[in-house]
Structure 1
Amino acid sequence: MNLEGSYNYYIVAVSAVIAILASYSALSMTSKISRANGKTQYYWLLAGAFVMGSGVWSMHFVGMLAFDLHASVKYDFGLTLLSLGASVISSFIAFYITMPKNVNWIKIGTGGLIMGSGIITMHYTGMEAMMMDGNITYDKQLLLISVMIAIVASYAALFLFLRFRNQSSYSLLKWLSAALMGVAICGMHYTGMSAANFHVHVNDSGHDGSELSFFLLIGVCVMIFIILFVSWGAMYVDRNVLERLAYQDSVTGLPNRNEMNRFFDTYNGNESLGVLFIDLDQFKAINDTLGHHIGDLLVQEVGRRLKQFVRIDQQAYRIGGDEFLFIVKQCDLNRAKQMADSLLRSIKQVYRIDGNELYITGSIGISIGTLQENDRSSLLRTADTAMYKAKGMGKNQYCIYTDEMGVKEVRKMELEKDLQQALVNKQFFIVYQPKWNVKSNSLYGFEALIRWQHPRLGTVSPMEFIPIAEETGFIIPMTRWALEEACSQCKRWINKGIKQPISVNLSARLFQIDLSELIQSTLDKIGLDPTMLELEITESMVLNDINNVIQQLHQIRELGVKVSMDDFGTGYSSIGLLDRIPIDALKLDRLFTLDLENPSKRAIINAIVLMAENLQLDVIAEGVENEEHKGCLKELGCIIMQGYYYGKPMNEEDVEKWVQSLKYTDNS
């Protein structure tokens, strides 16, 4: 006997609402997948797939509650669970395929096909789970239509959702995609039900279906409760746990850069803001020598001290490895100064960490302004500029940003940009300063000094562009060019009878490459005798990988090239390494020459000369400007000198004229 069922349209409406709400919840969860990282992605993926699949399953059986077949129906428990599994798994696969931020139409189509297939599989497995004294046949045309509805609507829903998933949480477009997904579920279900023909063998039309209704009611209620629990749990995790991970620094517990950006995004006040940019001095040395674990504990302790200064109108942020920031509302210059003083005093107190007694200081840059007059990047950039100025002034102090600093910063940025093209456009040139042997009263050689003729700014001082080249790494190709140019000039002078060695300054950056290979290839290319080349390194190189520096210097000296240590005595403790560093000469910094009237300074120079003699090193005095300098240094045992007294830096033509004026003859 064929049975015709009837629908309770109130329950039908409820099933549609469940489908749409479940779709919206699931799609909102999966919108976070592309923005999450690591395991967090899979958390949202699993939660979204479970809510989507469970919602589809719940809608199906609510729809069955709305359908009164007027016959006794039971459900196979295993097939019922299987239908739930099919729905959840297909949702997981579809969301996984479309998880990346950028997906093409093929992946969207594949995801729509899989999700639609999951809806179809869930429905017809659920229908197969019905146990009654009869069987079900299907109208093939309506069955095909139900399949098409599920696949097409699933594709359209995924397409809209993925296109607009970066819209706000309550975007109308998200609701539209959720409604389309609800249409896919409801349309497929009720079309599939229309395709079903129920045939029973015994007239059971008087059955009230209470057993069916009770079974479905319990199952659906439990599943809807689980859906709500998962959705609310996901919202709680998102708003509390994950937000804390996203906006709070894991080491110090302070707000991080994301929270700082959120402050600027949401702040609409017009009062003056003070930005105090804090950078820890000596932190890198501690981190490198004692390890990152100690470094993290040190940063943690600094963060704890900074928390003591947090108020309702001033907040601390950790924005980098050893960088912190304070934003102070209603801030004027006096308040900023007082706070900076207090912060510096707190930071420099001794730290006792894992048996280590550590001492660090801080450098603070201060910028004050309103967001109406400045954007956030301007406030942060100017505070950063002032902080670097504080470091340059000796550290453990604060510096307030001024317009003069801004002009210098703009010039620095301009030079940094133009530096990249200076080599290509042949704006660099070399000048040569003589060195003199006062014992033999003869020329001792030349030092090659690089200069930059800027097309608009004129001659730029090396004191200005060399540090920029060091920071950017451009110092390597620049030094390579200078080395080749100086060696070429030396070779030309030799051919003219001016047989004098030439020295070239090296940056610590050059030791990051195979320096001996560069020197050898340059000498071979120019055809210059290695003994005619001298390389000058700075004393500060001992702060780098000293073993690597020593190894490369040995290789260079094996080529026959001499090495001297420039700016000796400028504050870096390299005396204990002099017996290890393979060099031929020490160059006394000009600070010694300018203070020769000081007895203690003369005593230091004499001690250095005696030490150099014992180590079989020459001593070259820089900054010799008059006869008094020459006489005093000669008396102290200094034989080789360099400075304006003997000659200013000159171009190659002027050098040749200068040599001719000395009536120079080759003493070889």
Structure 2
Amino acid sequence: MYHIPFANACTLIALSYIALKLKNRLFMERYEALGAPLLTGLACILMMLQPIPDHTLTTDLSFAPIVMAGLRFGWQISLLSAIIPSLYVYSIEEPFGWMRIAYDFVIPAIISSMFHRKETDSGFAVIPYIDGIKICSILAIVRVAISGAMQRDVSFYFFSAHVMILFLSVAAVIVLIIMYNDENRNWMLQRRLELQANQDGLTGLPNLRSFMNTAGNTIQLRPVSIMMIDIDNFKKYNDTFGHLQGDRLLCEVGQILRGAIYEHDYVARYGGEEFIVLSQVTDYDELSHYGQKLCRAVEAHQSASRETESTTVSIGISVSAASQDELLRLISEADEALYASKNNGKNRFTFFNDIYMGTG
């Protein structure tokens, strides 16, 4: 007769594997508060569809999904997860259904949520295996205490059945925790690799690849402006003070620009001592104030790497005429305007259009 809960444990593991694969899908992340209780409740019902022969065993492991919900999400999701299987038990008019609801859904939801850790809310933490063992042990003690008090005539078989289910419960929950932790580690590794692929390793700013993706999507929706920004006299500074101090200066300027740009704009490291900004500002008067603001922000910074003189930047600005403009052309124009700023004395900004109008 023990083959039935064993088969249920295998079914539970298979269901959990499917749920873990669905977890990282976009709709699950967005609607987790709804999706998690729904999937957990359905898993509980599927576990109950295999009947226990003559009710001699104490559970069919339908409580295990509730335990995982409590460990992963806390008391709110775990109690919500208990609603669907509880309604199912009520609808089929199972004998002593209220005991089933209390044993397999409500009590496991409450006890497992007591072991919930806040850091798992973000998905960046693993669940300790010992917590699963503790929960299963507490549930077994509760079952023995309540069932023993109701039956008043306990036997060796009574205890052996509970011990067997305890071992099966612990094994099933431990496997579920292992699966979750492994999937979570893979998810964290994937996010870390994505971050590394889109982040400049020196300054911590987005890299050019990330910028091109963001700018390419944005320019399809609205007109934008592109700013190419270059640190003045950086090669001379690098040759004088060394590459370590040069790297430090790059980091400082990158952080200054990150803090100085407008909220909805995007700054990235273009390469070398150059940075690039995607801005939604396209009005020339406002861009003039913007360019001056960035120049002054860098110049006013007291760099620990540069004690003798202020750090300055030169800026080239190109503005798209309409949405869906050509991004590479805008970058090329901003780069050309940048060199005009360099040639005209540095520590200034220049519009690409001004080069050919004689005002650059």
Q: What TM-score, normalized by structure 1, do the two folds share?
A: 0.30
In the TM superposition, residue 380 of structure 1 has moved relative to its aligned partner by 1.4
CA contact (8 A) 2:222 2:323 kept: no
What is the aligned partner in structure 1 of residue 323 from structure 2? Answer: 372
Q: How does 1:140-151 map to 2 (within 5 A)?
A: none
Aligned partner of residue 308 in structure 2, secondary structure? strand
Aligned partner of residue 329 in structure 2, secondary structure? helix
In 1: Cα distance, 2:263 partner to 2:216 partner: 18
Q: Write out per-residue CA displacement over residues 325-370 of structure 1, whole angstroms, 9 at most, x where no aligned residue.
A: 2222132111222222222233344744257324443221110015
In terms of Rg, which structure is larger?
1
What is the aligned partner in structure 2 of residue 443 from structure 1? Answer: none
Aligned partner of residue 276 in structure 1, secondary structure? strand
In the TM superposition, residue 262 of structure 1 has moved relative to its aligned partner by 3.5
The structure richer in helix per residue is 2
Q: Write out per-residue CA displacement over residues 549-599 of structure 1, whole angstroms, 9 at most, x where no aligned residue.
A: xxxxxxxxxxxxxxxxxxxxxxxxxxxxxxxxxxxxxxxxxxxxxxxxxxx
Q: In structure 2, which of residues 280, 288, 293 is the aligned counterpart of residue 329 of structure 1?
A: 280
Aligned partner of residue 255 in structure 2, secondary structure? helix
In 1: Cα distance, 2:276 partner to 2:182 partner: 38
In the TM superposition, residue 317 of structure 1 has moved relative to its aligned partner by 2.2
Aligned partner of residue 347 in structure 2, secondary structure? coil
In 1: Cα distance, 2:227 partner to 2:257 partner: 12
Aligned partner of residue 205 in structure 2, secondary structure? coil
State yes or no: 1:318 paired with 2:269. yes
In 2: Cα distance, 1:402 partner to 1:354 partner: 35
Q: Write out per-residue CA displacement over residues 303-340 of structure 1, whole angstroms, 9 at most, x where no aligned residue.
A: 23323422223333222221112222132111222222
Q: In structure 2, which of residues 161, 172, 176 is the aligned counterpart of residue 220 of structure 1?
A: 172
Q: In structure 1, which of residues 215, 226, 232 is the aligned counterpart of residue 184 of structure 2?
A: 232
In the TM superposition, residue 399 of structure 1 has moved relative to its aligned partner by 2.3
In 1: Cα distance, 2:17 partner to 2:301 partner: 62
State yes or no: 1:17 paired with 2:21. no
Paired AA for residue 298 in structure 1: L
Q: 1:402 to 1:237 in 2, by over 3 A?
A: same
CA contact (8 A) 2:202 2:247 kept: yes
Aligned partner of residue 402 in structure 1, secondary structure? helix
What is the aligned partner in structure 2 of residue 306 from structure 1? Answer: 257
Q: In structure 2, which of residues 246, 250, 256 is the aligned counterpart of residue 295 of structure 1?
A: 246
Q: How does 1:179-218 map to 2 (within 5 A)?
A: 211-218=163-170
What is the aligned partner in structure 1 of residue 338 from structure 2? Answer: 387
Q: How does 1:155-166 map to 2 (within 5 A)?
A: none
Paired AA for residue 294 in structure 2: L
Aligned partner of residue 356 in structure 1, secondary structure? coil
Q: Write out per-residue CA displacement over residues 19-53 of structure 1, whole angstroms, 9 at most, x where no aligned residue.
A: 5556x48x99xxxxxxxxxxxxxxxxxxxxxxxxx
Q: 1:284 to 1:211 in 2, by over 3 A?
A: same
RMSD: 4.1
In the TM superposition, residue 215 of structure 1 has moved relative to its aligned partner by 1.8
In 2: Cα distance, 1:329 partner to 1:374 partner: 13
What is the aligned partner in structure 2 of residue 277 from structure 1? Answer: 228
Q: In structure 2, which of residues 284, 289, 292 is the aligned counterpart of residue 341 of structure 1?
A: 292
In 2: Cα distance, 1:66 partner to 1:286 partner: 78
Q: 1:261 to 1:318 in 2, by over 3 A?
A: same
In 2: Cα distance, 1:67 partner to 1:379 partner: 70
Aligned partner of residue 331 in structure 1, secondary structure? coil
In the TM superposition, residue 250 of structure 1 has moved relative to its aligned partner by 4.4
Q: In structure 2, which of residues 186, 189, 210 is the aligned counterpart of residue 259 of structure 1?
A: 210
Q: 1:376 to 1:354 in 2, by over 3 A?
A: closer
The structure richer in strand per residue is 1
In the TM superposition, residue 274 of structure 1 has moved relative to its aligned partner by 1.4
In 1: Cα distance, 2:276 partner to 2:306 partner: 29
Q: 1:286 to 1:246 in 2, by over 3 A?
A: same
Q: 1:15 to 1:270 in 2, by over 3 A?
A: closer
Q: 1:343 to 1:404 in 2, by over 3 A?
A: closer
Unaligned runs of 5+ residues in structure 1 are 29-61, 69-206, 406-668
Aligned partner of residue 353 in structure 1, secondary structure? coil
CA contact (8 A) 1:277 1:365 kept: yes
Paired AA for residue 335 in structure 1: E
In 2: Cα distance, 1:7 partner to 1:305 partner: 65
In the TM superposition, residue 242 of structure 1 has moved relative to its aligned partner by 4.9
In 2: Cα distance, 1:12 partner to 1:308 partner: 53
In 1: Cα distance, 2:9 partner to 2:223 partner: 59
What is the aligned partner in structure 2 of residue 356 from structure 1? Answer: 307
In the TM superposition, residue 249 of structure 1 has moved relative to its aligned partner by 3.7
What is the aligned partner in structure 2 of residue 400 from structure 1? Answer: 351
In 1: Cα distance, 2:14 partner to 2:296 partner: 66
In 1: Cα distance, 2:51 partner to 2:216 partner: 49
Q: 1:268 to 1:17 in 2, by over 3 A?
A: farther
Paired AA for residue 172 in structure 2: V
CA contact (8 A) 1:6 1:67 kept: no
Q: 1:276 to 1:19 in 2, by over 3 A?
A: closer
CA contact (8 A) 1:352 1:358 kept: no
CA contact (8 A) 1:271 1:370 kept: no
Q: Write out per-residue CA displacement over residues 219-255 of structure 1, whole angstroms, 9 at most, x where no aligned residue.
A: 221231232134335435644x555444444444433
Q: 1:11 to 1:227 in 2, by over 3 A?
A: closer
Q: Write out per-residue CA displacement over residues 358-408 of structure 1, whole angstroms, 9 at most, x where no aligned residue.
A: 444322111001563413222212211221233234433322223987xxx
Aligned partner of residue 272 in structure 1, secondary structure? coil
In the TM superposition, residue 212 of structure 1 has moved relative to its aligned partner by 4.1
CA contact (8 A) 1:348 1:360 kept: yes
Paired AA for residue 289 in structure 2: Q
Q: 1:376 to 1:280 in 2, by over 3 A?
A: same
In 1: Cα distance, 2:330 partner to 2:339 partner: 15
In the TM superposition, residue 278 of structure 1 has moved relative to its aligned partner by 0.6
In the TM superposition, residue 263 of structure 1 has moved relative to its aligned partner by 1.9
Number of equivalences: 229
Q: 1:216 to 1:383 in 2, by over 3 A?
A: same
Instruction: Say which is worse superposed, 279-288 or 217-226, in terms of deviation.
Output: 217-226
CA contact (8 A) 2:13 2:172 kept: no
Unaligned runs of 5+ residues in structure 2 are 26-46, 54-158
In 2: Cα distance, 1:265 partner to 1:245 partner: 20
Q: 1:252 to 1:15 in 2, by over 3 A?
A: closer
Aligned partner of residue 272 in structure 2, secondary structure? coil
CA contact (8 A) 2:215 2:278 kept: no
